[in-house]
Amino acid sequence: MASPSDNPRQRSAGVDPDESAAVAGAGPGVEPEALPAAGGRRRTRGERPRIKAGRLAGLSLGASIWVISWPILTESFLNWAVGAVDTIVAARLSEAAADAVGGAAYVTWFLAIIGMALGVGSTAVVSRSIGKGRIAVANAAVGQSLLLASVCGASLGLLVAALSPFLATLIGLPAHARDEFVVYMRIIALAAPAIAVLEACVASCRGAGDSFRPLRIMALINLINIGFTWALSGVDINRAAVNAAGETVSETILRNPFPFRMGVAGIAWGTAIAWYVGAGLVVLLLLSGKSGVTLLRRRLRPHWHTMRRVVRIGLPNFFETVGMWAGNFLVIMMVGGLAHPGYLGAHIVAIRIEALSFLPGFAMSLAAATLMGQWLGAGDSRTAGRATLLCSGIASAFMGAMGLVFMLRPAPVVALFTSQQAHLEMTPRLIQIAGAVQIPFAVGMVMRSALRAAGDAKVVMWITWITTWAVRLPLAFLLTGQDMTLFGAHIRNPAPLGHLGLIGMWYGLCGEIIIRGLAFGARYLQGSWRAMKV
């Protein structure tokens, strides 16, 4: 008997005719035995649901989490390192370069939003289809995600390139850092299509259960980024620390032998080259079919039904992420509004270091998303829920341990990232505050990702928007205890807290993380995700 993926009409349409009748997961009062098995056959009583296709077929829950998560963790570290290398090298150039590249990091995040949103949609559709054994539908989602990522990424890159001078003014960069920001951002904007394609395609591989091959691609991206960024920037590798007299002591470890000396422009070109190589390699990977899904030429033609499925999940995530990005961009403007030399650079370095701590949480969140989708596709909501809770516990353990390091040994950690005096004085205090909220941060990350994969993207969007705009921003502003100027207007701070400045702001930012984690945990425990459809 031919499987659904073998039917020529279904292959050409990318739609399984039984899909509208498939049950996404067991709702309250519905016994798992009463649900259809993958492929449309009804399971007999007592038969356990199982994943029938892809790299996770036949694996236990623990083995599935391991197979998915360790490559994602390593890949996430390598992905983080792409931005961290830019920050570290810029900090070796000058404080102005550090501020420019640090501010640009938020705009680069905006460039990745399209690919990330489409990736969420692709992961949900691919994982659910793989769980049901419907490979043709999964392949259709891969092609449509790549098509959307290419077009949207190019459009977004053009927009950011045109608005770069305006964005530099919004951030509140000093005059000597604005030119560096514009140079860096316009070069990175050229790589926007590559960033979007890479994010969307890697998410498709993960949805099929393959996170190892994308890991190898990310490793190569980092080697290219490090090599080209160092060679083109002309920066020497040095080590810095503050001595007993409070002076910054710097020691050169490795001199740069290359003649380019391009500074910030060299940092940007190194990163852009790396992204394009990575995008090309992940497309080749999907063309080969080795990840369990295949990029087929006919799937690159617009297919509105599949495109709508991807967008239906991805669009709420896009709005969610845009809302979060806009809120955090406003935080950057608030840091600039404090009008204190070195604050912006110290804030950005702290963000880069904190990002290192949540890499285990990010890996577990993506593992939870894949397992949630595949097990719901297989008709077993109980195992999907167990996977989410287990991933949440693992993330909490790792991130809690990293939080202890931040709280107990902040200064040596910061010295690895910057040699600027202002950063070495302020940043350790910031990462100590961040260390205290790592466990609720972990829970929020995993629960949010699992809920998205289950199809609960709209509620996830609203939770993110509400906590960002009604909690995060007001707390961050009030706890500074300072007036500030935003968009040319002087804003009076009514809180009688004294001038806590950037330290107070971080108390507010981290307080919101606790509230956000509780909100996502409560939504998960409510259980409505069990009846969601993708």
Domain assignment present for 219: yes
> What pLDDT digit, counting tens, does each position of 315-325 carry?
887 888 888 88
Distances (CA, A) of 274 to 42, 220, 291: 48, 8, 22
- Is residue 456 scored above 90 in pLDDT? no
> What pLDDT digit, counting tens, does each position of 156-177 carry?
999 999 999 998 888 777 777 8
> What pLDDT digit, counting tens, does each position of 356-393 carry?
888 888 888 888 888 888 888 778 888 888 889 999 99
Look-up of token digits 């939770």: 463
For residues 418 and 98, the answer to whether their CB atoms sit within 8 Å is yes
> What pLDDT digit, counting tens, does each position of 64-113 carry?
888 777 877 777 777 677 777 787 788 778 777 877 887 788 788 888 88
Domain assignment present for 222: yes
- Is residue 17 scored above 50 in pLDDT? no
Q: Which of 453, 443, 455 is nearest to 519 (CA)?
A: 443
Question: Crossing angle, helix 304-337 and helix 95-132, to 10 degrees?
Answer: 150
Distance between CA 126 and CA 394 in Å, rounded? 25
Q: ∠ at Cα 501 (497, 503), nearest 5°?
A: 95
Average pLDDT of the chain, as a whole number: 81
For residues 53 and 208, the answer to whether their CB atoms sit within 8 Å is no
pLDDT of residue 41: 43
SS3 call for 239: strand
Distance between CA 305 and CA 471 in Å, rounded? 38
Residue 436: CB atoms within 10 Å: 16
123 band by pLDDT with thresholds 50, 70 and 90? confident
Domain assignment present for 7: no
SS3 call for 485: strand
> What pLDDT digit, counting tens, does each position of 465-488 carry?
999 999 999 999 999 888 877 777
Q: Which of 292, 329, 307 is nearest to 118 (CA)?
A: 307
Domain assignment present for 428: yes
Domain assignment present for 38: no
Average pLDDT over residues 213-234: 87
Domain assignment present for 303: yes
Look-up of token digits 């969601």: 532
- Is residue 331 scored above 50 in pLDDT? yes
17-21, 128-132, 265-269 — which one is most confidently predicted on average?
Answer: 265-269
Residue 48: CB atoms within 10 Å: 10
SS3 call for 235: coil
Residue 88: CB atoms within 10 Å: 23
Task: Could you list the beta-strand ranges (E) of 228-380.
Answer: 237-242, 248-254
pLDDT of residue 25: 29
Distance between CA 524 and CA 120 in Å, rounded? 18
Look-up of token digits 């994943």: 51
Average pLDDT over residues 278-295: 93
Number of structural domains the chain divides into: 1
Domain holding 318, by residue range, is 61-531
Average pLDDT over residues 492-499: 75
| Joined tokens for residue 273 | 């080259």
Sign of CA dihedral 496, 502, 504, 506: positive
SS3 call for 83: helix
Q: What percentage of the chain exceeds 90 in pLDDT?
A: 31
| Joined tokens for residue 213 | 């091959």
Could you tell me the pTM of the whole model?
Answer: 0.66
> What pLDDT digit, counting tens, does each position of 232-248 carry?
988 887 666 555 666 66
pLDDT of residue 372: 87
Distances (CA, A) of 250 to 238, 476, 519: 7, 34, 45
SS3 call for 208: coil
Residues in the chain: 534
Amino acid identity of 422?
A
Lowest mean pLDDT among 137-146, 191-200, 270-279, 371-380: 371-380
Domain assignment present for 46: no
For residues 322 and 492, the answer to whether their CB atoms sit within 8 Å is no
| Distance between first and last Cα of the chain | 27
Lowest mean pLDDT among 342-351, 492-501, 521-530: 492-501
Q: What percentage of the chain exceeds 70 in pLDDT?
A: 85
Amino acid identity of 473?
L
Domain assignment present for 1: no
DSSP bridge pairs for 242: 248
| Joined tokens for residue 512 | 């919101």
> What pLDDT digit, counting tens, does each position of 199-212 carry?
999 999 988 888 78
Lowest mean pLDDT among 33-42, 68-77, 295-304, 345-354: 33-42
